[in-house]
Structure 1
Amino acid sequence: MQPILTLCDFFTRSGARSRFYTLGRRVAPCDAETLAAFEAGERAWPAPWLGRAQLACVFQWRPESDPLVWFLSLPLDEQGHLDPAPRDAFLQRLLETLGRTAGQLEDGDEAPIDNLMQDNPLAFTPELTQRALLHARANADFERPASEHIEPVEAFLTGQTPDAAWQALGLQGIADFCVRHDSDQASALAARLASLPVDVLRPLCQCLEHVAPAPALVGALIARGEAAARAGDLETFCACVRAVGHGAGERVGPWYDALLQDSAACGPDLLAAIAARGWAQLEDERRLPLFLDALARQPDEGFVSVVRDLALVPRLRLPLLMTLRQAPSDSAVGRRLSPLHR
């Protein structure tokens, strides 16, 4: 029998029904082939966050049991590849636990597996919105119903109950809606977005950061973001900037371009929003230099840390390094880089 050397090996051999998800930069499905290639050192992690691969392993031993979740934060090297030693230590601990508790597992007691996250240096707790999004995605992927909170959220956001007590809407219901809504519901939400209370809009935006919003919804979010900017509501403005980050480039890209060239709008909060959630829009030969120039002109010292973080994103690494290399020495970017070349 072949030894179990990777997480993929373990879940394949266990017979558990399993799904994997990226966390941190984006809550999104991660297919087993991508995880296997990452663990084999053949590819970088697709969505690095703060130098880590934040991974959710959702698995179900029996059809009648509730899925279990492991949250793992795996360290990356400077090119975004796995540092395997901590993963190997976790697997060794896992296999030792299975060897000691095989009888319990055969009797249906899953506590030994669930308890592996206790005192585990790779374990972490995602923030509340990401946990809600993961719960929503996993339930959909495991063909389980959405939470009971989705119905009032759906009715309120689509205008069926516009006068309902929105204070009672739950974050889990908003996350479920964002994962499961169809095109008609997206259009209804777009028509209603301008009038949503800000205390509903902001958590909605936080959930939309992790999906690809429909074109009509992107347009409504841009309009609401512009209105917030005119009103001086920086928090809502940045929430809208983040929410459209994975929208269609032909709609989102021109807005980002205009913001990056607007000295009144282009401050550290906007740049942080684009770097964290709108990074996919930086895969553009004109927009990426605009972003880097705006970032370099900020008075704080965050340029190098933001660039280093973005350089771990596989799709951005090469264009980012080329743009930095081509920056004139007397440009804002060049001046930021000059101390590094000494």
Structure 2
Amino acid sequence: MTANIATLAELLDAAGTTWRVYDIGRRVQKLDKATFADIESTKLAYPFPLAQHALLAIQFWDAKASAEPYVWFLKLPLDEQSKLIAASRDHFANMVLEAVGTQLLGDEQEQSKLDNNPYVFTPNANKRAAFNAHIKVELHQSASQYYEHTQLYFSGKLGWQQWQSIAVQGLADFAARLNQGDNELRLCSAWEHLPAEVRQPLAAQLENAQVSTQVAEMLQQSIQHALDKNDKALLIDSLRAISFAPASGICCAAIDKVLVSNWAEDADICQVIAGRLWTHLQAPERLAAFMEKSAQIESEQPVFASLFADLVAIPTLRPHVLAMLRCEQRSEALSRAIGGLFS
């Protein structure tokens, strides 16, 4: 990069833009600028790594203009300690400078020069919908055209089987606006009636929403119901939906119930816990119980190894996961699974 521009933040500032950064890997959530600066300087490991990458959405716009914001969806590699590989970041920034200079707010044709950039990626439909919904809330903009119909569906007036006209973007808008109107009440009343065709994509949106205690309690009951009925699909959807709830005690209790159930050694369930509820695995006892169960999974795929690699990359969990390697009080299955990591 140039002598005056050393980071993406400096590039965006030099272009005179107003900008924001979001993680869109594990879930859609905003990164404050101080945290992003520490990530760029490698003072801080990336807090939400996914498969050794930082998946970012950088939104920027001209505060003086009324044009829609631009968005870069970036997939930047991380090192073994989940720190940003600066050379890759510099490579991307240089490609931007070569393509459009510091005139980042050019027309679509200028922006299209970056389409074949190796660091640019297209998020899946669920993440794109969630990101769009969150942006509109933050910018105090109206929801999409699908929102009102989705609200009507959750009132129950259309009939629960009349889901074919429900759009993913409508579900994303509904999840992002649970605290508006009577959306929360509608969700709590509707959840047990929802067909899987609605519940599954809704759960994918709710995992980006910090649901209230009332909603978390409803989902906790749903998790218990799924365990009682041996309903794996409902269990997965309920765990995903509750995963970002600030009510940590409720989430921890839900995980603990799952870990003593007959689903504790199911690969899909363990992947949901590791991928969505990782923040609640910092307690050594819960982490140990989770890894013990993961080691028991019988599968053609190396499930334990993939879960270990995923969790050890998360900065807040890394010391706890590594401590397990030195723990002598573990089962034979866990010892064997850990040994397999180094064979």
Q: TM-score, normalised by structure 2?
A: 0.90
Question: In the TM superposition, what is the alpha-carbon distance from 1:267 to its structure 2 partner?
Answer: 0.9
Q: Which residue of 2 aligns with 1:137?
A: 134
Matched to 2:10, the amino acid is D
SS of alignment partner, residue 164 of structure 2: helix
Aligned counterparts of 1:339 and 1:302: Cα–Cα separation in 2: 11
Please give the per-residue CA displacement for 1:167-214, whole angstroms capped at 9, x wherever unaligned: 211111111111122175323321221122222111111101112221
Are 2:47 and 1:49 aligned?
Answer: no
1:151 aligned residue (129, 148, 151): 148
Please give the per-residue CA displacement for 1:128-179, whole angstroms capped at 9, x wherever unaligned: 000000011112222322111111212322x263537332111111111111
Q: Which residue of 1 aligns with 2:260?
A: 261
SS of alignment partner, residue 66 of structure 2: coil
Aligned counterparts of 1:214 and 1:190: Cα–Cα separation in 2: 11
Q: Which residue of 2 aligns with 1:206?
A: 204
The answer to whether the Cα contact below 8 Å between 2:60 and 2:71 also exists between their aligned partners in 1 is yes
Aligned counterparts of 1:327 and 1:144: Cα–Cα separation in 2: 55
Q: Which residue of 2 aligns with 1:24?
A: 25
273 and 328 in structure 1: CA distance in 2 versus 1, 3 angstrom threshold: same
Matched to 1:32, the amino acid is K
Matched to 1:123, the amino acid is V
163 and 337 in structure 1: CA distance in 2 versus 1, 3 angstrom threshold: closer
Gaps of 5+ in 2: none
Question: In the TM superposition, what is the alpha-carbon distance from 1:294 to its structure 2 partner?
Answer: 0.6
Question: In the TM superposition, what is the alpha-carbon distance from 1:327 to its structure 2 partner?
Answer: 4.3
Aligned counterparts of 1:24 and 1:264: Cα–Cα separation in 2: 26
Aligned counterparts of 1:25 and 1:235: Cα–Cα separation in 2: 20
The answer to whether the Cα contact below 8 Å between 1:260 and 1:290 also exists between their aligned partners in 2 is yes
Are 2:274 and 1:275 aligned?
Answer: yes
The answer to whether the Cα contact below 8 Å between 1:27 and 1:133 also exists between their aligned partners in 2 is yes
The answer to whether the Cα contact below 8 Å between 1:59 and 1:69 also exists between their aligned partners in 2 is yes
Matched to 1:220, the amino acid is M
The answer to whether the Cα contact below 8 Å between 2:282 and 2:317 also exists between their aligned partners in 1 is yes
Q: Which residue of 1 aligns with 2:98?
A: 96
306 and 327 in structure 1: CA distance in 2 versus 1, 3 angstrom threshold: farther
Matched to 1:245, the amino acid is S
1:74 aligned residue (73, 76, 100): 76
Question: In the TM superposition, what is the alpha-carbon distance from 1:339 to its structure 2 partner?
Answer: 4.1
Q: Which residue of 2 aligns with 1:175?
A: 172
Over the residues paired in the alignment, what is the CA RMSD in angstroms?
A: 2.3
Q: Which residue of 1 aligns with 2:67?
A: 65
Q: Which residue of 2 aligns with 1:224?
A: 222
Question: In the TM superposition, what is the alpha-carbon distance from 1:222 to its structure 2 partner?
Answer: 2.9
Please give the per-residue CA displacement for 1:262-291, whole angstroms capped at 9, x wherever unaligned: 234541111011011111111222211110
Please give the per-residue CA displacement for 1:232-265, whole angstroms capped at 9, x wherever unaligned: 5422321211211122121121121111122345
Q: Which residue of 2 aligns with 1:310?
A: 311
Identical positions, percent: 31
Gaps of 5+ in 1: none
Question: In the TM superposition, what is the alpha-carbon distance from 1:332 to its structure 2 partner?
Answer: 2.5
SS of alignment partner, residue 168 of structure 1: coil
Are 2:268 and 1:286 aligned?
Answer: no
- The number of aligned residues is 336
Matched to 1:27, the amino acid is V
**Would you identify which runs of 4 or more consecutive aligned residues in structure 1 move more than 6 Å?**
none
SS of alignment partner, residue 29 of structure 1: strand
Aligned counterparts of 2:65 and 2:229: Cα–Cα separation in 1: 52
Aligned counterparts of 1:163 and 1:44: Cα–Cα separation in 2: 48
Aligned counterparts of 2:328 and 2:119: Cα–Cα separation in 1: 38
Aligned counterparts of 1:90 and 1:143: Cα–Cα separation in 2: 31
Aligned counterparts of 1:286 and 1:235: Cα–Cα separation in 2: 27
287 and 116 in structure 1: CA distance in 2 versus 1, 3 angstrom threshold: farther
SS of alignment partner, residue 67 of structure 2: coil
339 and 265 in structure 1: CA distance in 2 versus 1, 3 angstrom threshold: closer
Aligned counterparts of 2:309 and 2:279: Cα–Cα separation in 1: 16
